[in-house]
Amino acid sequence: AGGGHIERKGHQASSPERLCHTVQKRNRILRDMKHYSRAIVITGGAGFIGSHVVRLFVNKYPDYHIINIDKLTYAGNLANLDDIKDKPNYTFLKADICDFETILQTLRRYDVDGIIHLAAESHVDRSIKDPFTFARTNVMGTLSMLQAAKIFWESQKEQWKMSRVNADGDEVCTECRFYHISTDEVYGALELTDPQGIETPFSTKASSAHHHTYGQEFFTEETKYQPHSPYSASKASSDHFVRAFHDTYGMPTIVTNCSNNYGPYQFPEKLIPLFINNIRHRKPLPVYGTGENVRDWLYVEDHARAIDLIFHKGKVADTYNIGGFNEWKNIDIIKVLIATTDRLLGREEGADNDLITFVTDRKGHDMRYAIDSRKLQRELGWEPSLQFEEGIEKTVKWYLEHQDWLDNVTSGDYQKYYEKMYGV
Ligand code: NAD
Ligand code: TYD
């Protein structure tokens, strides 16, 4: 099934020929589908993290059918997946996760046995301006995904289990799984008790060579939820719904909470791509408040690798925190971005430090995020692959070499193109 094709909604068969054609097509899809050992829906696959997850799964598991469901908001861009769009085990469906009927129909149509749910509104600043959109997509959209999965999976002969015939003609049985991708921001903010930075008791391969921690506390899986922004409040609410579906109906769910991601294909409204682009064009760098806020940064491909591991080996109903023990004050990471961008552009390192412009602080700006990912390391043997210095070099290089991508997503041209193509 799939054949790297794009589904369009609202296509009605009207004549007998078209009806016949539709039935034939459906039979072909059903026949081909049986040859995949699994059918997995990934939501938000045209976004930043989702595109890395889709790419990893499509390439690593040719025997899985990967169905990417994305509404293609301003943050979703099919160009993020150009390299895999024609793979036979990949299907793209443009749809809103809040559209319950379409989601249910899609799960049925492809016999979906796994869902990796990333689709969300993800930018804190936008959530401060427009909280309704965040509640709609992040809360109601997640509920729509959960309810559709529940109805479809409960209708199977064996609840929460799917069987299909693989390419060798063998019947394989898989456990269904609803995997919800969340953020460390649901835990609220930690205090900056050691603003000068102290040596950290923990590290991973992702930890920077200049690795410090700025407080004694870390977010663990037991930390109480205390979200502050409309974004984190909506994610917290969706996490609760996911866990409620396990506790109430026995649905096989997993939740993970990850720290800030960085890497290619991130929409340039977020700190790292925005600032790289501004440095290149010598535009001011708007640093909120004093720049003392601390974030814990992980290379996006290492998050995708963790998602792969947890989807396959994680314990049902469990929670895992994902992060590389790599805390940075905003002002310090900004200086790294300036030095790296300057060097790669052949400018004197630090020549653009004067672009730093302190602006009014974000409302309710969380001071420090620092995640304790030791459970994931201990129980599933996860280890990130890239040290921060290597990851940031790769990232800056990627944005400098993909100015066309940046121009495209910021100009809104790609959005107009999709509107024309899909008539929405
Ligand atoms: P993103 O904004 O880059 O991508 C979100 C994707 O979801 C886009 O492709 C968008 O088109 C799609 N989408 C939005 N609303 C939709 C809807 N109603 N129906 C269908 N598709 C819709 O976000 P991201 O940074 O890749 O984050 C992905 C997930 O990971 C989110 O759930 C986010 O909360 C979580 N997360 C992000 C980070 C981070 O640092 N970026 C860290 C931890 C967790
Ligand atoms: P962001 O990339 O929006 O991620 P999050 O808010 O989810 O952590 O921001 C990272 C940090 O950078 C955060 O502390 C806010 C700060 N920031 C700025 O100082 N200026 C900016 O223009 C942006 C976008 C962020």
SS (H, E, C) 179-209: EEEEEHHHHCCECCCCCCCECCCCCCCCCCC
Return the residue matching tokens 């096989």: 252
Q: What is the pLDDT of residue 6?
A: 61
Q: Is 231 a catalytic residue?
A: yes
Residue pLDDT, tens place only, 101-159: 999 999 999 999 999 999 999 999 999 999 999 999 999 999 999 999 999 999 987 88
Distances (CA, A) of 131 to 96, 179, 217, 402: 18, 24, 29, 32
Tell me which ligand sits closest to the C-alpha of residue 95: 1
Structure tokens at 204: 């991973």
H helical segments located in 226-384: 230-249, 271-280, 300-313, 330-344, 374-380
C-alpha 278 – ligand 2 centre gap (Å)? 14
C-alpha 356 – ligand 2 centre gap (Å)? 14
Facing residues of 99 across strands?
none
Distances (CA, A) of 106 to 2, 95, 112, 146, 311: 12, 10, 8, 13, 20
H helical segments located in 250-299: 271-280
DSSP line for 83-140: TTTT-TTEEEEE--TT-HHHHHHHHHHHT--EEEE------HHHHHH-HHHHIIIIII
Residue pLDDT, tens place only, 161-214: 998 887 788 888 899 999 999 999 999 999 999 999 999 889 999 999 988 899
Q: What is the pLDDT of residue 282?
A: 97
Structure tokens at 27: 């039979």
- Around ligand 1, the residues with Cβ closer than 6 Å are 43-44, 46-50, 70-73, 75-76, 96-98, 118-122, 137, 141, 181, 183, 235, 258, 260-261, 267
C-alpha 314 – ligand 1 centre gap (Å)? 22
Give the atom of ligand 2 at the shortest distance from the alpha carbon of 369. 8
3-state secondary structure of 296: strand
Give the atom of ligand 1 at the shortest distance from the alpha carbon of 98. 18
pTM for this entry: 0.93
Q: What is the pLDDT of residue 171?
A: 85
Phi first, then psi: give them for residue 4, nearest 5 degrees.
60, 30
For residues 325 and 206, the answer to whether their CB atoms sit within 8 Å is yes
- Cα(404)–Cα(288) distance, rounded to whole angstroms? 28
- Cα(187)–Cα(214) distance, rounded to whole angstroms? 17
For residues 134 and 127, the answer to whether their CB atoms sit within 8 Å is yes
Which residue of 272, 288, 327 sits with most ligand 2 atoms within 8 Å of its CB, as the best mutation to test the pocket? 288
Q: Is 222 a catalytic residue?
A: no
Give the atom of ligand 2 at the shortest distance from the alpha carbon of 289. 19
Q: What is the pLDDT along the chain (424 residues), one digit of tens a residue?
A: 345 656 544 344 456 666 666 666 655 565 566 689 999 999 999 999 999 999 999 999 999 999 999 999 999 999 999 999 999 999 999 999 999 999 999 999 999 999 999 999 999 999 999 999 999 999 999 999 999 999 999 998 788 999 888 778 888 889 999 999 999 999 999 999 999 999 988 999 999 998 889 999 999 999 999 999 999 999 999 999 999 999 999 999 999 999 999 999 999 999 999 999 999 999 999 999 999 999 999 999 999 999 999 999 999 999 999 999 999 999 999 999 999 999 999 999 999 999 999 999 999 999 999 999 999 999 999 999 999 999 999 999 999 999 999 999 988 776 777 777 666 5
Q: What is the pLDDT of residue 175?
A: 94
Give the atom of ligand 2 at the shortest distance from the alpha carbon of 183. 7
Q: What is the pLDDT of residue 12?
A: 43
360 CB neighbour count, 10 Å cutoff = 8
100-110 and 142-154 helices cross at what angle (nearest 10)?
A: 40
Sort strands 319-322 and 327-329 into parallel, antiparallel or unpaired: unpaired
Phi first, then psi: give them for residue 195, nearest 5 degrees.
-60, -25
Which residue of 190, 262, 270 sits with most ligand 2 atoms within 8 Å of its CB, as the best mutation to test the pocket? 270
Nearest one of 330, 369, 372 to 203, comparing CA atoms: 372
